[in-house]
Structure formats: structure tokens, C-alpha cells
Amino acid sequence: MNKRPILGITMGDPSGIGPEIAVKALGSEEIYKICRPLLVGDACVMAKAVKEAVKRNDLTIHPVSSVSECRFAYGTIDVYELGNVAIDKLKAGAVDAMSGDAAFASIKKVIELALAGEIDATITNPINKEALNLAGHHYAGHTEIYADLTGTKKYSMMLADDDLRVVHVSTHVSLREACDRVTKDRVLEVIELAHNTCRRLGIAEPRIAVAGLNPHAGENGMFGREEIEEISPAIETAKAKGMQAEGPVPPDTVFARARGGLFDIVVAMYHDQGHIPLKVLGFQYDKSAGKWQTIKGVNITLGLPIIRCSVDHGTAFDQAWKGSANESSLVSAIEYGVKLALNREEYSTTF
């Protein structure tokens, strides 16, 4: 049982659904069968989530100041106590600097624990970028925080829903800038990250589809020359290095082909090109019920010296502290984190 990896799970923005979905996920005995979870955040917030949002009388919050103090037992949620939320001032469902600062502190601590080798992987709950910046932490999101605090220069975002995986050449930039970032060097870098990560997931010979940037992958230069001048040369170099990269594949069909089993991962050229198909599959809204029935999908940062998996949704302030938030994306993130941690020694390259 001690071979179960230790996962550090951030609280997320306490004004959002992070605390609730964390309790719901760790309120399942199945999670404790595959890992040893440690929640990092404020113990008072988590106690409030247990009592008021989830309404579970069978769960106990166990504050700790070190990993060695953890019990890792179902029914007890170990919380690495940061004590940085004034519970009487917590604003549910609102952008708040205190919550943004608490969310950042949680991220910083799990990164420190992972870099020190005290935990095997990090799992992040949603944060609010406006609250983060109000608190003086000027980052575009989790990915940039991790890159900065780990000193990582080459990194990328991967989204996954079951066997459909997408990795991005660029993410949080304007569409105009995203086009400029489609260069041979960057596309090749992302292909290599995709290859290494698939191997970490146990895929011996990953099949990598590289999407085009333009409609019809440029149609031989009629609709743009990025495919000819940047993307195709990157693919040829990847092939010369022994990687099974194909493309440029027209972006309007590449995801259907990957979902059909032809590819293990898709290299997308920009944020929405990769995010939209994953969220169409993973996010299911029930209009009659007035809520999301399913919110699936995992966000994984590639290129880091540590493992980072995350939910693929935001803080959902409209649902915060109402007991209706869906924890399925967090459960998927935990499962991916376990899989990556267990394969760490066999494929020791960074992700």
C-alpha cells in the first residue's frame, strides 16, 4: 500500500468550487486505494466545505505541518495547514484578493514539496486569474506559475479526456500572437514534449498528429504558408529523430481521427484549436436540470521537472458553496497524476 504515490492537491481559490470538489473527491474511498492524497490550503476553509457545502458527517479534517504527520486514511482529509484565510471574511462566489493570495500560496507550497521530493505529484484546483492579480501575483495562470517557480523555459499545456490528448504550441496569448508563435523550433519542441509524455503514460511508440494552422492545412499555400515554412519542417525533423509524427493534418478533421484511434496525441497550434474539441466532449450541460452533468478533462503541464495535473475548468463562482459542483474533472486529474507518478522511474525525462 505504501507504493501508492503521495499527491499534493491544492485548495484552489476558496471563493470558488475548489474546496467543495476537493472534499467530494477525497470523500471517495476509491481515491485512497490508488494514492495518498494531501490537500494543501486552509484547514478552516476545508472544514467549512465538509460541513456546509458537502454536508458529510463522516469526514474529518486533519491539519498537518509536514508530510510525515499525514494519516492517509479514508475518512480523514489531511490538510497541509497554511492558515491564510480569515474564514469570517471569505466571499463565496466573488473575486477577492484574499482568496487569490491563498490560492497562490497553496500552489507555491505544493511546488516546493514536489521539488523537495516529499510528494510524487501535484494536482491543482481552479484559480481565478483576476483574484490572483489583485493579490499581486501577476501570472496568466497555473502554467506560467509552475514554469516560473520551477525555472522551466520550455513547456506546454496538454489536455486529456480518456484517450484523446491535445498539446498546445501556444495558449494564453492573442490569436494574432499565436500565429506568430508557430515556428519550426517551437512546433518541434512541442512534438518532442508530446512524444515523451505519451511514453510516460505507457505508450511505447506514440502516434503524433500535428494539426495545421490554417483552413485545410493551408491547401498547399493557398490559405497561408505556415504549414510549408514552419510546421512541415518541424515534422520532418521529428521523424528524423525517430518520432512517429504525421501532418500537417487539417484541423477540422484531426480530432475526429484521433478520437477514432488513429493517433495517441494531437499537437494543436493555439489555445482554442485544442480546447474546444476537448470541452465539447468532456463538458455536458443539462438544460432541463440547469446544471453541468459532466465536467471531464485534465490539464497537464509538460516540460516541468515535477508532475502537475489539473482540472480543466474554472472556479465556477455561480456554483460556489452551493453543494452542486461536479468533481469528475478533479478525479480524472488525480488518476492521471497517479499514472504519471507510477511510470516516473521507467521514463525519467521531464514532461
Helix (H) or strand (E) holding 97: helix 97-115
Specify the number of domains making up the chain: 2
CA dist., res. 18 & res. 41, Å (int):
11
The percentage of the chain sitting over the pLDDT mark of 90, rounded to a whole number, equals 81
Based on the fold, state whether residues 314 and 248 are members of the same structural domain: no
- Give the pLDDT confidence score for residue 77 in this predicted structure: 98
* Domain match, 161 and 265 both: yes
Query: Do residues 297 and 313 share a domain?
Result: no
In the numeric block, which cell numbers belong to residue 103? Answer: 490560492
Q: What's the rounded Cα separation, in Å, for the pair 138 and 323?
A: 31
Check: CB of residue 183 under 8 Å from CB of residue 230: yes
Same structural domain for residues 136 and 249?
no
In angstroms, the CA 203 to CA 18 distance is: 32
Burial class (CB in 10 A: 0-12, 13-18, 19+), 35: buried
pLDDT in tens, 184-225: 999 999 999 999 989 888 899 999 999 999 999 999 999 999
Q: What is the pLDDT of residue 351?
A: 41
Question: Is 148 found in the same domain as 69?
Answer: yes
Distance in angstroms (rounded) separating the CA atoms of residues 117 and 110 = 11
Which CATH number covers residue 61? 3.40.718.10
Q: Which domain holds residue 330?
A: 1-152+307-351
Q: What is the pLDDT of residue 335?
A: 94
Most distant CA pair in the chain, distance: 64
The pLDDT of residue 291: 67
| pLDDT at position 344 | 65
pLDDT score at 292: 65
Per 3-state DSSP, the chain is made up of helix, strand and coil in percentages (nearest 5) of: 40, 20, 40
Same domain, 167 and 147: no
Buried/exposed 329-342: b ≥16 CB within 10 Å, e otherwise: bbbbbbbbbbbbbb
Give the integer Cα–Cα distance in Å for 130 and 25. Answer: 26
Judgement on whether residues 140 and 193 belong to the same structural domain of the protein = no
Question: Can you point out the beta strands (E) in 75-150?
Answer: 76-81, 121-124
Which of the 8 DSSP states describes residue 218?
A: G
Looking at the structure, tell me whether residues 43 and 119 fall in a common domain: yes
Residue 179 shares a structural domain with residue 50 = no
What distance in Å separates the CA atoms of residue 295 and residue 312, rounded to the nearest whole number?
8
Q: What's the CA gap between 136 and 139, in Å, rounded?
A: 9
Number of Cβ within a 10 Å radius of residue 281: 16
Given this model, what pLDDT does residue 130 score?
96
Which residues in the chain come in under a pLDDT of 70? 1-2, 291-295, 344-351
pTM of the model: 0.85
Same domain, 203 and 108: no
- Residues 104 and 30 placed together within one structural domain of the fold: yes
Domain check: are 185 and 204 in the same one? yes
